[in-house]
Amino acid sequence: MTFIQRKAYGFGCGLAAMLWPFFVRRRRISVENILKCGVAADAAAAKRIAARAFRHFAGHVCEALCAPGVVGKDNYREHLDFADASPAAVKTLLDSPETPILLVSGHHGCWEVATNIISLARPMIAIARVMDSKILQRWMKKHHFRGPVTVISKNDGFTRDIIAKWREERSAMTILMDQYSYGGPLLTFLGRPARTVTSAARLAIRYGFPVVVGSFVRIAPYRYRLVGGDPLTFGRDDDRDRVTQILNDRLSDAIRKYPEQYLWMHRRWRDD
């Protein structure tokens, strides 16, 4: 590895540590979220988790930009740790490219790196905010996403073409479902009322493809642990809100195991 690749995560963490005192509102939101979710017993512990999570966020972004130069198709399994993952989930995610799947995660662990690594095993469709700058978007496509990754705007929805591409290419349709949804049902996330997006549940019910819920958490430089349970499947008779709650609970379990790698500073809860 180059010097920049080796130091990327540390650089991001160091920069975040210097900037953290200036993010007064985000510090307050983070600590409140951690305490209300019962992740920490007191304010001092919550403040420590919040600071570590902010440093991890910045470090992860810097490491993700360097990851394509370190992790490739010939060595990506060497960078993965399966100690905390369901063998069935690993097989579905990485070793069953003949079947389209749904990958449900959140702003936890190293979601940017996960997209890169999984795309080395199967095509990916990622629902995300598309960059406003076309120059930056082209740079991301050329230098950041090395595998077959299709990024679609979350504002465009699941068009007929996207669904056809998902099924024909047997892609992993990736949805980060831990964002506040103004029109979503009021369910619980990490034990608290939260308006939740239902797109993952609706796709799972309609098409019946396996659903893998979990995260890639960082355990060492360019080494990531898969966290999650067995794949789930649903049918047309399943209730949308019940399925969405199951996905929320699965994701909550992963976050509680590694709370210092969750993005606590975003306003996920606005209904309690």
Distance of CA 263 to the CA centre of its chain: 10
Do the beta carbons of residue 198 and residue 240 sit within 8 Å?
yes
3-state helix, strand, coil in the chain (%, to 5): 50, 20, 30
Please list the pLDDT of the chain residue by residue as tens digits (272 residues): 899 999 999 999 999 999 999 999 999 999 999 999 999 999 999 999 999 999 999 999 999 999 999 999 999 999 999 998 999 999 999 998 899 999 999 999 999 899 889 999 999 998 765 545 454 455 455 545 566 788 887 777 788 999 999 999 999 999 999 989 888 999 999 999 999 999 999 999 999 999 999 999 999 999 999 999 999 999 999 999 999 999 999 999 999 999 999 999 998 998 77
Query: What separation in angstroms does the CA of 215 have from each of 23, 135, 183, 250?
Result: 26, 30, 26, 10
Q: For the segment 116-140, what is each residue's pLDDT rounded down to a tens digit?
A: 899 999 999 987 655 454 544 554 5
Q: For the segment 159-170, what is each residue's pLDDT rounded down to a tens digit?
A: 899 999 999 999
Of 264, 216, 268, the C-alpha closest to 94 is 216
Residue 134, classified by CB atoms within 10 Å of its CB into exposed (0-12), middle (13-18) or buried (19+), is exposed
Of 169, 177, 168, the C-alpha closest to 204 is 177
Query: What separation in angstroms does the CA of 224 have from each of 66, 71, 145, 220, 231?
Result: 14, 11, 17, 7, 19
Q: What are phi and psi of 266, to 5 degrees?
A: -90, 155
Q: For the segment 10-45, what is each residue's pLDDT rounded down to a tens digit?
A: 999 999 999 999 999 999 999 999 999 999 999 999
In the chain, domain spans: 75-258
Kindly report the pTM of this predicted structure.
Answer: 0.91
